[in-house]
Structure 1
C-alpha cells in the first residue's frame, strides 16, 4: 500500500477526490479515517481512489443514471426553448414566454446544482440554432446557467428550498428571489451579449431586457412549483379525484370563455379574467399547492393560445405587448394561488396539531382523574391510620409521659391534620380542570346560601355578620360557585381585625358579565401581596392562622376555568375587597 500511495500523486489525488465527490451521491460511500482511503458501500477499502471509485461507479451504474438525467434535462430544455422562441417578437433571442427558466430552476432544486451542464448545453444549442453565433450563444448559455444556479442558491438559503411552496412567507420569498432577482442575471448578461455581438442595438436594450426578464420570471413562478411538487412523493387523495376532474372541467370551460373566444357575442376582449379567480381559489383551498399549480399551468396554456389567436382581455395591437400583459397576469395569479395554498396547508397543520393536543389533553385529564382517585384513597388511608394511632397514643399516655413527649405527640397530630388538609386541597384543585364548563347556570343566591350553611359553625363562633345584595344567575357549576363563596368568606372571617367580622357580597352587571365583590373589615392585604396570595400554597401569616394556602388559588382556578377573572380591588378604608367576574347566562334575578 505504501508503494501505491507514493505513486498516487497530488494531481491524481485531487482528481479522484473531485470525481468521487461529483459522481457519488450522498450516502453511496464514506471516507475512511485515513485521508487517502475511501470505503464503498460493499465494504471495500481502497487507496487508489481514482481507479477504485471509477470501477465502483461503472459497476453500480451511478454515472449512467446521471448521464441519462443530464441528457433528459438538456433535451427538455431544448424543446421548451425552441417552442418559447417561436413567440419571440421583440428580438429573435428574447421572448415573453420562456418555460426553460422554470425547468432549469426546478431541476436544480429537485436534483441539485450538478445539472448545470444540461442548462448550459441546452441554452447554447437553442440560441445557436436560432439566430446567434457561437460566442453569443455561449454567453447567453452562461447567463441562463448562472440564473438557475443563483436562483437555486437563493431559494435554498432563504426560502427552504424544495419546501418553498408549503408556507405563504416562503412562497413570497421564492417569487422575490427566484422569480424577480435571479432572472435579472440572465436578462442582463443576454442583452449585453447581444448588443456587444452586434445582434441588437443598444437603443432596443430596454424592451429586450424587460421581455427577457418577465419571460424568465413567469416561467419560474409558473412551472417550477408544479415540477418540484409533482417530483416529490405525496399521497394522492383518491376520494377527491371526481371533484378534481369536475373542477378542472369548469376551469377549462371558463378559461375558454374568457381567453378562447367561447362567447356568444361578437366582441372577444371583455375584461372577464377575474371570473377565473374563484375557481383557482377553490382548487387552492380544496387540493393544496400541487393541484392548484397544475390548474394554473392549464389556464396559462388556454390563455396563451387564446391571446395568440386574438381572444381575451389582453389582446393589443402589439403581439409582444399582449404577451407581456398576459404573463404579468399569470405571474401574479400563480403567486396568489400558491400563497393561498400555503395558508390553507398551514391552517390544516395547525388544526391537526390542535386535534392532537386535544387528544393529549383528554389523556392527561384521564391521568388526572386517576391521580385524584389515588390522592383520595391510597394517600389518605395511611394518613388516617397515622392520625388515629397518634390520637390513641395521646389519649392513653399523655399523663404517663413527660412534657416533651406530649409536645412530640402534638406535633404528630398537628402535622397529620395539616397533611390531610393539603391532600384535600390538592384533590379539590386538581378536580377543577376536569369539570364541565357547560354544566349549566348557577343561582348565585343559592350558592351563597349553601356556603353560609357550610360555614355556620365558624360564623356563630366569631359572631360574624354576613350580608348580601340581590345576586344573579351566572354561567358556572353550582357546587364550584359555592366553593368560591365559601373560601372567600372563610378567609374574611379568619383574617379578622379586633372588630366583629362583617362581610358583604354584591354583584354589578357590566356588559355580558357580572362583577361580584366580597368586602370585609378585616386586616386587609398589602398592595405588594395582592398577586402573590393567588399562588398555590402561598401564605402571608405562616401558622398563625389555620389553613393550607390553597383557598384563593382554588378560587382563581375555578373562576378562570369558567372564563372569568379574580382580583383584589383597592380599598381606602380597612379590610379587603375581592372581586371576580363571571359570564351572564340567565338574566333572571332571584332573591333567596
Structure 2
C-alpha cells in the first residue's frame, strides 16, 4: 500500500518525460522547415504526437507537451515568455480536441467508423489546430516577431502545418497503441511488403526523381491514390495511415529538394501545396479504411444473425419434428383405441346376434310348435278360434324368420365361412327379401383375399350404407359394388332414390356417416358421398391395396 504512490509517480514521470522528448524531437524536425519568424512551420509532426499521447495515455501527460513545446521554441531563439504561451496554447488545443472527441463524439481511436474519421477531421484536424494557430500567431505578433502583413499568412501556414501533423502523424501513432497487426498470414505479409515497395517507388518517381518529376504538373500526384486505396482496403487503418506517412515523407523530401509536382521557385508555396495534398491523401485513406471496417462489421453482424436464425430454425424444426412425432404417436394410439372400440362393438353385436339366434329364436320356434299344435286341436274340434290360431301360427313363423335374419345381420356367419363376398351376398339377399327392394351385388374377380379386420370393416360399412339408403332414398334399386383398379380397392353403395343435397353431404354430422368415414380412415382410405347419374346417392369407400387384374361377376 505504501509503494503504490511511488510507482504511480515514477510512471507519471517516465510517461511525461517520454512525451516531452518525443514532442521536442518532432518540433525540432518541424522547425527546420520554419517559414515565418523561425517558429512557424508547415511541417509540424508534434501536433499529431500531442494528440496521440493524450488519446492513448490520458490527460496526465499534458505537462510533457507543454515542456517539449517550450524547450523546442526556446532552442531556436524564441523568447521564454512567448515560448511559454505557445506551449500552453498547443497543450490547450490538444486537451480541447481530446475532450471533445472522447466526451462529445464518443470517438474510437481504432478509426473503425466513418463518424470517427469525420469527428477527428472536424474537431482535431480543423478546430483544435485553428485554436493553436490563432494563439501562436497572435503571441508572435504581440511579441514583435511578426509584422501586421505577415500575421494572416503565418496563422494559415501554422494551421496547415498543425493539420498535417494531426492527419499524417497521429493515426500511425494511435495504431501502435491500439491496433493489432493487420498482417495475419504469410501471403498477407508478402502483399504488405509488395505494397510498401510499390508505394515508396511510386512516391520517389512522382516526388523525388529529377528526370521524371515535373514541376507544377499536379495530375502526376494523383498516381499515388491507387496505393493508398490498396492499403486502406487490404490492411485497414494501419495500412492507410502508414502508407500516408510514407508518401508524406517522400513528398517532403522531394519538395524540399526542389522536385515533384508541388515544387516551385518559392519554398513556402511548395510546402503549402504539398501540405494541402498530404491532408487530402490522409483523409481519403482514413475514410476508406473506416468504410471498409464498417462494411466488415455489418457483414459480421449479418453472419451472426444468420447463424442465430439458422440455430433458432433448427431448434424450431426439432421442436416441430418432436411435436409431429408425438402427434403421430397420439393419432396411432387413438386409432388403435378406436379400432379396439369398433372390435368390441362388433363382438357385442355378434353376441347379441347369437343370443337372438340361440335364445329368442329357439323360444319363437318352441312357441311356433305349441301354437301349431293348438291350431290343429282347435281345427280338429272345429272350434271358432281355429282361424285365429292359424293366424297366430303364421305371425310367430314370420317373427322367428325376422329374428333369424336380424341375428344373421348382427352376426354374419357367412363372413366367417365364405368371406366378405358371401357376407355381402347374404346382405343383398336379406335386403331384397325383407324390404321388397331390388338389391344387386357386383364383385370384381380381381378382388383378392383380405384380412378379417378389413372384411368386417367393409361389411359394416356396406351394412350402414344400405340401411341409410333404405331409410332416406325411397328408391327401388340398390347396387353394391366391390372392385379393384390401379392399386385402389373401392366399395360403393348406390341407389336410385331422391338423393341428398351436395351441401348436406359435405356437412352432415349423422352417426351413420361418421361411422362410414371412420371405418374408411381405419383402412387408410377415404369415404365420399356424391349424387349419381340416376339422381340418387352413391357412397364410396376407397383405400390403397396391392392386387392383380381380373374380371367382374354379378350376383343377384
1:113-172 deviations in Å (ceiling 9; x for gaps):
111100110111111121311111111111011011011111112443343611112101
Q: 2:329 aligns with which of 372, 381, 399?
A: 381
Aligned to 2:34: 88
Aligned to 2:305: 357
Q: C-alpha distance in 2, partners of 1:153/1:363?
A: 43
Find the residue that maps to 1:89 and give its secondary structure.
Answer: strand
**Of the two, which has the highest radius of gyration?**
2
Q: Which runs of 5+ in 2 are unaligned?
A: 349-500, 504-556
| Contact preservation (8 Å) 1:109, 1:161 | no
Q: 2:178 aligns with which of 232, 249, 255?
A: 232
Do the aligned partners of residues 329 and 118 (structure 1) sit closer, same or farther apart at CA in structure 2, a change above 3 Å counting?
A: same
Q: C-alpha distance in 1, partners of 2:69/2:327?
A: 80
Aligned to 1:248: 196
1:367-425 deviations in Å (ceiling 9; x for gaps):
3332232122123322443465468669979xx9xxxxxxxxxxxxxxxxxxxxxxxxx
Aligned to 1:74: 20
Find the residue that maps to 1:314 and give its secondary structure.
Answer: coil
Matched, 1:140 2:86: yes
Q: C-alpha distance in 1, partners of 2:104/2:236?
A: 22
Q: C-alpha distance in 2, partners of 1:155/1:263?
A: 45
Aligned to 2:262: 314
Aligned to 1:368: 316
Deviation of 1:186 after TM superposition, in Å, equals 1.1
Find the residue that maps to 1:78 and give its secondary structure.
Answer: helix
Q: C-alpha distance in 1, partners of 2:87/2:109?
A: 28
Q: C-alpha distance in 1, partners of 2:175/2:62?
A: 20
RMSD: 2.6
Do the aligned partners of residues 172 and 164 (structure 1) sit closer, same or farther apart at CA in structure 2, a change above 3 Å counting?
A: farther
Q: C-alpha distance in 1, partners of 2:253/2:198?
A: 18
Q: 1:152 aligns with which of 95, 98, 108?
A: 98
Q: C-alpha distance in 1, partners of 2:246/2:307?
A: 42
Matched, 1:206 2:152: yes
Q: 1:219 aligns with which of 165, 168, 185?
A: 165
Q: 2:75 aligns with which of 129, 135, 139?
A: 129
Within a 5 Å distance, the mapping from 1:428-447 to structure 2 comes to: none
| Contact preservation (8 Å) 2:110, 2:179 | no
Q: 2:217 aligns with which of 261, 265, 270?
A: 270
Within a 5 Å distance, the mapping from 1:178-193 to structure 2 comes to: 178-193=124-139
Aligned to 1:543: none
1:490-546 deviations in Å (ceiling 9; x for gaps):
xxxxxxxx999xxxxxxxxxxxxxxxxxxxxxxxxxxxxxxxxxxxxxxxxxxxxxx
Within a 5 Å distance, the mapping from 1:26-105 to structure 2 comes to: 40=1, 52=2, 55-58=3-6, 61-105=7-51
1:446-470 deviations in Å (ceiling 9; x for gaps):
xxxxxxxxxxxxxxxxxxxxxxxxx
| Contact preservation (8 Å) 1:214, 1:324 | yes
Aligned to 1:492: none
TM-score (norm: length of structure 2)? 0.59
| Contact preservation (8 Å) 1:164, 1:174 | no
Q: C-alpha distance in 2, partners of 1:499/1:317?
A: 105
Deviation of 1:226 after TM superposition, in Å, equals 1.1
Aligned to 2:286: 338
Q: C-alpha distance in 2, partners of 1:162/1:381?
A: 58
Q: C-alpha distance in 1, partners of 2:209/2:56?
A: 38
Q: C-alpha distance in 2, partners of 1:193/1:233?
A: 38
Do the aligned partners of residues 308 and 169 (structure 1) sit closer, same or farther apart at CA in structure 2, a change above 3 Å counting?
A: same
Matched, 1:327 2:275: yes
Q: C-alpha distance in 2, partners of 1:499/1:274?
A: 84
Deviation of 1:229 after TM superposition, in Å, equals 1.4
| Contact preservation (8 Å) 1:110, 1:231 | yes
Aligned to 1:486: none
Aligned to 2:549: none
Q: Which runs of 5+ in 1 are unaligned?
A: 1-39, 41-51, 401-497, 501-592
Q: C-alpha distance in 2, partners of 1:359/1:224?
A: 38
Q: How many residues align?
A: 348
Do the aligned partners of residues 233 and 214 (structure 1) sit closer, same or farther apart at CA in structure 2, a change above 3 Å counting?
A: closer
Q: C-alpha distance in 2, partners of 1:379/1:172?
A: 60
Aligned to 2:455: none
Deviation of 1:103 after TM superposition, in Å, equals 0.1
1:39-85 deviations in Å (ceiling 9; x for gaps):
x5xxxxxxxxxxx5xx4322xx2322221111111111111101101
Find the residue that maps to 1:297 and give its secondary structure.
Answer: helix
